[in-house]
Chain A
Amino acid sequence: MRRRALLCLEDGISFEGEAFGAGGESFGEVVFNTSMTGYQEVLTDPSYAGQIVIMTQPEMGNYGTNAEDVESRRPFVQGFVVRDCSPVFSNWRGHETLDGYLQKEGIVAIADLDTRSLVRRIRSQGAMRGGISTEDLDPTSLCRKVLQWPEMKGSDYVSKVTTSAAYDYPGERPRYRVVAYDFGIKTNILRNLSRRGCEVTVLPASAGAEDVLDLKPDGIFLSNGPGDPEPLQGAVDNIRKLIGKKPIFGICLGHQLLGLAFGGKTFKMKFGHRGGNQPVKNLVTGKVEITVHNHGFAVDPDSLPESELQLTHVNLNDQTLEGFRHRYLPVLSVQYHPEASPGPRDSLYLFDEFIQMMDQA
């Protein structure tokens, strides 16, 4: 008999399913991701810290897990929810089952439940807190615990995922020196910078603007990361000091922090964007990119200074802001993930634009 598990949402609804991964109890904001491939990249994306992730594609684990398809040192999700987790895998790169991997990494997971109904609930009511337990299968009791978990809005998760010490990521035939703020950086960003000749020094989120400038970088990178940007006032202050000094490229949380640094406002979206099929229009070229998203907060475009910033990218599904450039200063910023992984690689050109900015600086 397989172990049972229970998933509760803060609105009181509960789903029973089959436990997999690690046993125990775990809480977080419940969100869904619509990517059909790339579960291991999702699990290891530090931006999911504090969140329980539902995968909408029901068959998960088919190709197993391996040592390469990771986006950070370990999985950061609070919990994992799938319709079906394959007990076996088939792929020439596969090394371990998804179940085995999650067990080893201590991630609580639940399968064999109506994930689509969960997603529809979140779509209509917004992202909610929730919990998965393999120990407490009483819905009332588990729901009570869910309500005690802190809300995502106002929480600082960056401090929990950022590197504790600075480190270097070597560049291939290095030509540029880039300093990257690690708010929860995905490794594929580093790979992409490295591939373009950037030697990257990754600094903890707490590093000061002076620390960055002391390293004499050609460019500064502001990484993605989990949670609400607003509590990260220190980071915003540092960024404000760096604007105009060196070319800056921000992705996701980095983009939101830049927006705040320019005096803009951020807001929590109803249930965010998470997946690999979001159409984004590049307003400069008029072309549509299929992009990778993972964000629950967004920058309000009306709050940005129009005289300084040019809006460059917009989401065609809901018209939310997806990117901007500074009109005079070397600042480039997108809400989505040009590094892909998992997802389409339509937007890798943004890394080239960052390189160009450094070339021109």
Chain B
Amino acid sequence: MPRRDDIQRILIVGSGPIVIGQACEFDYSGTQACKALVSDGFEVVLVNSNPATIMTDPELATRTYIEPLTPEFVEEIIRKERPDALLPTVGGQTGLNVSVELCEQGVLSRYGVEMIGANLTAIKVAEDRRQFRAAMEEIGLEVPRSGFANSLKEAQKILERVGLPAIIRPSFTLGGSGSGIAFNSVEFDEIISGGLQLSPIHEVLVEESIIGWKEFELEVMRDLNDNVVIICSIENFDAMGVHTGDSITVAPAQTLSDPEYQDMRDAAIAVIRKVGVETGGSNIQFAVDPSSGRMVLIEMNPRVSRSSALASKATGFPIAKIAAKLAVGYTLDEIPNDITLKTPASFEPTLDYVVVKIPRWNFEKFPATKPLLGTQMKSVGEVMAIGRTFQEALGKGLRSLEHDRTLAEEAVDPERIRENLIQPTPLRLAYLRLAFLEQWSLVEIAALSGIDPWFLFRFREVVQLEEELAASRGADPDLLRKAKRYGFSDVRLAQLFSESSDAEGRVWRDAEVRELREKAGIRPVFKRVDTCAAEFESYTPYLYSTYEAEDESEPSDARKIVILGSGPNRIGQGIEFDYCCCHAAFALKDAGFETIMVNCNPETVSTDYDTADRLYFEPLTFEDVMEIVEKEKPQGVIVQFGGQTPLKLALPLFHAGVPIIGTSPESIDLAEDRKRFGLLARRLGIPQPEAGTARSVEEAVGVARSIGFPVLVRPSYVLGGRAMAIIYDENSLQSYMASAVEAAPRHPVLIDKFLEDAREYDVDAVADGKRVVIGGIMEHIEEAGIHSGDSTSVLPPDESDLDPAHLETMRRHTRRLGLELGVVGLMNVQFAVRDEVYVLEVNPRASRTVPFVSKATGVPLAKIAAQLMIGRSLDELGLTVDPKVSHCFIKAPVFPFAKFPGVDTILGPEMKSTGEVMGVSENRGDAYARAQLSAGMVLPRTGVVFISVNDRDKPKVTPLAEGFQKLGFRLVATRGTAAYMKRAGLVVESVYKVKEGRPNVADLIKSDKIDLVVNTPLGRDSRYDEKAIRRACVQHGTPCITTLSAAHAAVDAIHALQREKISVRSLQDYHELKLADR
């Protein structure tokens, strides 16, 4: 069944901003789909609100729209572009939901757009619990036993079938309130009674508990000829009860015998057929009772997913790419396997290695929430590691995470170990290790944790080997070799050798371990991921290291550049850096170099074997990178695109003689070093906020006294403002310093004078050592003190609000700094403007805003930078003047607050956002409205606005309130703010604060009487009732703005919303318009 010729133009809906549960894996899948369809001659219309994606690069699709992913906007795109088909399955849940809405609203039929891949019925059956359950029962597959009850009696009847413990979920309650697990009949009756009362329709679901069961996933593909293949099996290390996104997972499944695996395979095939996913990939999850082998279906995703991205990387089988081809009519046997070239895609990959995925969390950014793992996903990123054994892959995965600290070794209270085994946290492996060190039995640990004894046994072997290694102190080369085969890093081995009781205080360095093993000839080899366990020759150098006999890397003699990626996503270092690394690969490939990517993040485009010429799926540590460099002997290594991860390696690699290209590691270091940079700035006459560094509490107090409060404090060498704070007095400074010194004793703390009420600007530039071209100057809507990553940025800055001389000063300073630092490549400068222009920091590397600026200006900064790094000049590249933008581009952050109960939503110097969106329009208000809509904040067009501001903001509140009133809003305020506004002659209703009485403001929010909240926090401490207001907003989905400047922007935005009809324009059009302007 060949390619369909009746469709020509296909709409792909992306997944929007990076949020917890939906990250750059959908950029990977969307990009693959886009490339596959375009290369096959289709026209692709792409929509996504996330500018930091590769898929929104204008050269990837025929038409690219960066617009909100709402039915209204997508309908407008459909109206304008008239696609023949819509591919809903590569843009995550967001893409699927929008597509379903468009289908249900009749938009697709109105414009004659066919949904390809999965149709509406299939999506409904897969997503609706009841329909899914019924469908599965029809084909004789088990789902967890359950039933709906409208009375206690009915519930008790169901319990007879379901058994204890039972999970109870009231129907239609918000945020799962009233649900619970009953372990005995008394508890059961209580929860049922409560649940029935809470449910507006007096209905509860009683379901069998499968917590503690083994969890598996299969990635399944089907084509129009009804051929079905299983791409990958995945087994969760963590038992049922931990979201699969938060579980350590292993591929292939390790503890299923063949009949059991085949039962699962048969079930998966039956499911995809029954649900009716016509073509493409689906993810099907199973739970297995470890004591009886009983298998139940948990759910199916009728689309590509996070797991399918993992499965693609784990097997070398590009699921999204193939899914796109299947959607346009090809069958699996008509598509060649890219890796073997000679065999078709209609097969099932076989692995001769083990893959381990480990999530990475950012709980430390949300101290108000407990770091507990459960059924809701909380991790922000993940690493994947490949080894020949589970142990090796686990070891490599753990070092890929880049966690500086392991769990303290001190004797831990057995009760605490117990609790942590029962209730998993991000430290679960550390507690398992402790339990083994304390000689707990495997059976007991398995019973408490639900983790399969096989995994525990393998982990215990690692712990036992640690002890042997410590005792050996490196004297035994056989043991050293064994340790490397078990996945131990040189750094870890150095720690273990130093720990030995008779080590006489000798502290080993990892370099010494490296020397030791080099002497003993213990070096890794590189093997290929080839989909077929070496049965066929592979033509794609997708490599991983292991300690075995034969090396298959076959490095070429070509001129080559290694690009170091950015590792696992985390708040502060995400897709933007992967975008830059991909662009480096694209540009250097075009320039005739062989490109070599090193990264360990399975979600990314950079780890697609198609992106660079060669891919090393490896941890980004000094040890691992050095082994690759020594194998490949590249002409250059790029460290400035992957964020802090490769940057931390710059100096050590440089000192080891590795040719770092672009800005020299010394310059990078100079820019990071406050003292040396301070001297440079002073020499250049560029003002900086007064500052100092401190390594102790005393020093810090001294610095703060001399420069005066408030101060901005942060540890050096961090990204994303980790542990950054604004401090107003000495007491707070002392407690801050105490914890900071503990967290990173080797790094000093930086203390800056905090410029209250200053405006901040971000500048992205490229430089070739002789010339600096400024890509864009972005104005932050929020005032100083809010992390740039959490600020809403506007390009270009509002010149009516800024002395043009200041703008010129920023340009001048940027050029000066770029030349002085000898920047070759990218640089980012942050300025604060009050009375004059202060430089806050200079980063001679890729910044988070590079993709945004590139999308806005049409000038691919990262690609240009990569070319500068191989010796081209800006002149040669024809980029000699600062690009201009003809429209207003706004970048807005997206926050994960809804996932962290109890966390306050105010913004500060520590970055908390996980992703970003872009809004673009001719006017600022409309661009802001679009950005907010894309970020999930639906601004009301009219209604009631509640305003409560701190004392500092009160004098400035009147114009804001007037703005809202003019737009037709009714004003509501707490007494203090209301009094202020009344004095200005505004009509305001007063409302109780949370503690003043009822109904109070939180009640109003919860009962839908307030459409928008403006609440600026009271200085450093947020009071209880303010936090209650903001949490009520998060839970209720009411937009809540926490800065006055953002509130002003919202007024403009609402004004635009009231006035303007939706219109859309593609990036290609924007860039063309800009060319016409010139």
Contacts and interface: CB of A to CB of B under 8 A. Distances in A.
Do the two shown chains form a genuine complex with each other? yes
Interface of A: 15, 32, 34-38, 40-41, 56-59, 62-63, 66, 68-69, 83-84, 86-94, 113-117, 119-120, 123, 275-279, 281, 286-288, 290, 316-317, 340-345
Interface string B204-239: 000000000000000000000111011001000000
Contact of B352 (A89, A115, A276, A316): A115
B959 interface: no
Nearest to A280: B346
B618 interface: no
B990 to A, nearest CB: 65
Contact of B533 (A56, A59, A281, A341): A56
A290 B229 contact: yes
A58 B389 contact: yes
Nearest to A281: B333
A56 B352 contact: yes
Contacts of A116: 352, 388, 527, 533-534, 548, 550
A304 B908 CA distance: 79
B679 interface: no
Given A91-B257, A119-B533, A123-B534, A317 B343 contact: yes
14 contacts: A15-B549, A59-B254, A63-B454, A88-B454, A92-B291, A92-B293, A115-B352, A286-B225, A288-B331, A290-B347, A290-B348, A316-B344, A317-B347, A344-B262
A69 B258 contact: yes
Contact of A277 (B260, B347, B352): B347
Given A34-B535, A316-B333, 12 more contacts: A37-B261, A38-B257, A56-B534, A62-B454, A91-B257, A91-B260, A93-B257, A116-B527, A116-B534, A279-B344, A288-B346, A345-B262
Consensus secondary structure, chain B interface = loop
Given A88-B453, A288-B332, A34 B389 contact: no
Nearest to A278: B347
A84 B389 contact: yes
A318 to B, nearest CB: 8
B533 A63 contact: no
Nearest to A38: B258
Contacts of A120: 534, 550, 552
Contacts of B532: 34, 277
B554 to A, nearest CB: 12
Contact of B389 (A59, A87, A93, A94): A59
B111 interface: no
A59 B258 contact: no
A281 B225 CA distance: 12
A116 B389 CA distance: 13
A113 B549 CA distance: 8
Contacts of A316: 333, 343-344, 346-347
Contacts of B550: 114, 116-117, 120
A57 B352 contact: yes
A209 to B, nearest CB: 36
A94 B454 CA distance: 12
Contact of A287 (B227, B349, B457): B227
Contacts of A117: 548-550
Given A34-B535, A56-B534, A115-B352, A63 B256 contact: yes
A123 to B, nearest CB: 6
Contacts of B333: 279, 281, 288, 316
Given A114-B550, A123-B534, A279-B346, A63 B227 contact: no
Nearest to A90: B454
B389 A92 contact: no
Interface string B302-330: 00000000000000000000000000000
Interface of B: 225-227, 229-230, 233, 252-262, 265-266, 290-293, 331-333, 342-344, 346-354, 388-390, 452-454, 457-458, 527, 532-537, 548-550, 552
A269 to B, nearest CB: 12
Given A114-B548, A288-B332, A37 B256 contact: yes
Nearest to B458: A86
A36 B261 CA distance: 10
B716 to A, nearest CB: 43
A34 to B, nearest CB: 4
Given A69-B258, A317-B347, A57 B265 contact: no
Nearest to B254: A62
Contacts of A40: 257-258
A277 to B, nearest CB: 4
Given A41-B258, A91-B257, A317-B347, A57 B332 contact: no
Smallest CB-CB A-B distances: 3 pairs: A38-B258, A117-B550, A56-B533
B464 to A, nearest CB: 12
Nearest to A285: B225
Contacts of B290: 92
B548 A36 contact: no
A57 B351 contact: yes
Contacts of B265: 344-345
Nearest to B453: A90
A343 B343 contact: no
Contacts of B257: 37-38, 40, 63, 66, 69, 91, 93-94
A34 B350 contact: yes
Contacts of B353: 58
Contacts of B344: 279, 316-317
A345 B255 contact: no
Contacts of A275: 350, 533, 535
Given A34-B532, A56-B534, A90-B452, A344 B255 contact: no
A279 B390 contact: no
B547 to A, nearest CB: 10
A68 B259 CA distance: 10
Nearest to B266: A345
B437 to A, nearest CB: 19
B536 A59 contact: no
A192 B346 CA distance: 26
B352 A119 contact: yes
A281 B253 CA distance: 27
Contacts of A34: 350, 352, 532-533, 535
B311 to A, nearest CB: 14
Contacts of A66: 257
Contacts of B254: 59, 62
B888 to A, nearest CB: 53
B351 A63 contact: no
A237 B293 CA distance: 47
Contacts of B389: 58-59, 83-84
Contacts of A63: 255-257, 260, 454
A35 B535 CA distance: 12
Nearest to B344: A316
Nearest to B226: A287
A141 B342 CA distance: 40
Contacts of A345: 262, 265-266
Contacts of B454: 62-63, 86, 88-90
A207 B453 CA distance: 49
Contacts of B262: 340, 342-345
Contacts of A56: 350, 352, 533-535
B527 A58 contact: no
Nearest to B259: A69
Contacts of B227: 287-288
The residue in A56, A69, A87, A340 that gathers the most chain B C-beta atoms within 10 A of its C-beta is A56
A343 B259 CA distance: 8
A278 B343 CA distance: 10
A113 B348 CA distance: 25
A120 B552 CA distance: 10
A94 B457 CA distance: 16
A19 B226 CA distance: 46
A290 B332 CA distance: 12
Contacts of A90: 255, 452-454, 457
Given A56-B534, A120-B534, A345-B262, A277 B349 contact: yes
